[in-house]
Structure 1
Amino acid sequence: MTSLETAAIPPNIAAQLPSVNFGFDDLKERMAKFTIAFDEFIEKRREKSLEARTNYARDLADLTENQKTVRKNIQHYEQEEIKIQNNTEKEIQETADLENEISTIKAQKATRQAENETLSSQIREQSTAISKRRAKLLEEKQALASQANHNQPELAFWEDYLGLRIEGAGRLDHVRFIFTCLDETDPEREFEIVVSVESRDYEIIGARPRLDEATKTRCLETLNETRSIAKFLKSVREEFKKVAKN
């Protein structure tokens, strides 16, 4: 009922109307509380939204920074991968070179081993040959010693009566035979011949006066075939005697 309607009702009738409590004050209080609560809710939602937006912005900034870091790391790892690949290729090449060098060294070692075996075989053969040679030389020395003992009386005759003198020729294996009494015009004139006894076959090193090659060869054949010094000296003396007459 409005105030105009109440004013239109007479006082006595108005006094008789029942009193009605519509609860406006309570409603007003509740509305005020609701408004406060709603404002608080809105404020909290606003704060949460602001916080969420702040966190989102921060997270977005962090994500952007992380992306930058990831890109840098990716670039770094790509560069490292390139370096590793280059190093790997280099190591592969070095390994191949090393293997080739090892193969070369092994081949050289095998070759040297074969050469050493060949040299060892040659040394053994040479040692055997030297041993045989020594034995042969010893046998020849013994034969020469025996021949010398056999020829000693005859050589003494040659030295005393035929003017033969035997001397060294500057080397242990060279012997000089000097003849005199060959030249009737000059009995003291010397004729000499130098013989090498280094090997089994004797060799004439020189003669004074000079003898031709055919004569020396003939005298050497007599010596090497008969092994008789006396016969050799006799043949040489005859050749020098011919030279003295000429």
Structure 2
Amino acid sequence: MAYAPRGFHFDLKTVLSDPSPHINLDIPVYEETLQNFLKAVNNYKNRSIATITDRRTKDAVEKKKTQDRFQKIESEISKCKVQEIELMATLEKEQAERKDAELAVAAFRRQIASLHERSATMQAQIDEYRALIASLKTAVIDKGKERSTLNAHASRVVPELHAFERLLACAIEGMEKEQLLISFRCVDISDPDREFSFILDVSGPNFKVVKTSPPLPSLPLLVDRLNITQDIFAFIVQIRQEFHRIANGEENMDVS
């Protein structure tokens, strides 16, 4: 309960009119009042100290909490910085990998384009080869038919050829490019085994003698006559007669 001090009053006029003036200070009351005042001051001091102590305690707790939060925030910031560095490194790595991947994709695309070009070229070659094969097959079929026809014709001609060979005393052999090798024996009386021959080209509209062994001076006249008469067998007989004349030293015969 708060102390309400009692008021100190005195009459100054009465005091001054007294021959022995004195003032009754009422010391006990004053002391009581002073003690009450000191007690109130002490209570106020204690309450203030308690309040200050409580505030300090609360402030210390809040400061500790604030420091803990600050340390936690600092730790989180440090972790975030580390994560940021790691993320930047990861980002740089991914960018480098992406660049490498883009370069690889570009290289693959160039390879694919090159392969497409090669494929198109090879396909064109394949088509060309297929056309060639088809043409060759057709040619083979035609050749087969032609060969069958020639074989059938040869089966009829061979006996006639053998008969003409016996009749003309010569051997007739087919060569490349529609040429005939015609050879004679028993021409040289001194050497019956000596061979005389000439190659007749029948591929063109006119007959040609490619080679004679031995050479015949009268060959151009004989070939001209052959192209006029178209009589191959008479021409073979005349060539044999020319070989016989040269081999045995006989006089020149009339080939006109």
TM-score w.r.t. structure 1 length? 0.58
Identify the residue that residue 45 of structure 1 maps to in structure 2: 62
Identify the residue that residue 82 of structure 1 maps to in structure 2: 99
Aligned pairs for 1:157-196 (under 5 A) are 166=169, 174-176=182-184, 178=186, 194=197
Q: Is the 8 A contact 1:176 1:195 kept in 2?
A: no
In the alignment, is residue 213 of structure 1 matched against residue 230 of structure 2?
no
State which of 58, 62, 68 in structure 1 corresponds to 2:75: 58
Equivalenced residue count is 211
Give the Cα–Cα distance (whole angstroms) in 1 for the partners of residues 87 and 238 of structure 2. Answer: 116
Q: Is the 8 A contact 1:176 1:193 kept in 2?
A: yes
**1:62–1:10 CA distance, 2 compared to 1 (3 A):** closer
Give the Cα–Cα distance (whole angstroms) in 2 for the partners of residues 134 and 84 of structure 1. Answer: 70
Give the Cα–Cα distance (whole angstroms) in 2 for the partners of residues 140 and 80 of structure 1. Answer: 83
**1:217–1:136 CA distance, 2 compared to 1 (3 A):** farther
Identify the residue that residue 115 of structure 1 maps to in structure 2: 132
Deviation of residue 45 (structure 1)?
0.6
Identify the residue that residue 89 of structure 2 maps to in structure 1: 72
Q: Is the 8 A contact 1:195 1:206 kept in 2?
A: yes
**1:107–1:170 CA distance, 2 compared to 1 (3 A):** closer
Deviation of residue 74 (structure 1)?
2.3
Give the Cα–Cα distance (whole angstroms) in 1 for the partners of residues 118 and 105 of structure 2. Answer: 19
**1:211–1:90 CA distance, 2 compared to 1 (3 A):** same
Structure 1: gaps (5+ residues):
15-19, 156-165, 181-186
Q: Which amino acid aligns with 1:90?
A: A
SS for the counterpart of 1:143 is helix
Moved more, 23-32 or 208-217: 23-32
Percent identity of the aligned residues?
Answer: 10
Identify the residue that residue 105 of structure 1 maps to in structure 2: 122
SS for the counterpart of 1:117 is helix
Deviation of residue 214 (structure 1)?
2.8
Between Structure 1 and Structure 2, whose CA radius of gyration is higher?
Answer: 2
State which of 156, 161, 165 in structure 2 corresponds to 1:139: 156
Higher helix share: 1
Superposed CA deviations along residues 42-93 of structure 1, whole A, max 9, x for unmatched, are 2211110111121222222222222222222222222222222222211111
Deviation of residue 219 (structure 1)?
6.9
Identify the residue that residue 244 of structure 1 maps to in structure 2: 250
Q: Is the 8 A contact 2:171 2:184 kept in 1?
A: yes
Q: Is the 8 A contact 1:168 1:175 kept in 2?
A: yes
Superposed CA deviations along residues 87-131 of structure 1, whole A, max 9, x for unmatched, are 221111111111111111111111111111122222222222222
Q: Is the 8 A contact 1:175 1:194 kept in 2?
A: yes
Deviation of residue 188 (structure 1)?
7.9
Q: Is the 8 A contact 1:219 1:232 kept in 2?
A: no
SS for the counterpart of 2:184 is strand
Superposed CA deviations along residues 193-227 of structure 1, whole A, max 9, x for unmatched, are 7577998x9x8955787544334664795754xx6
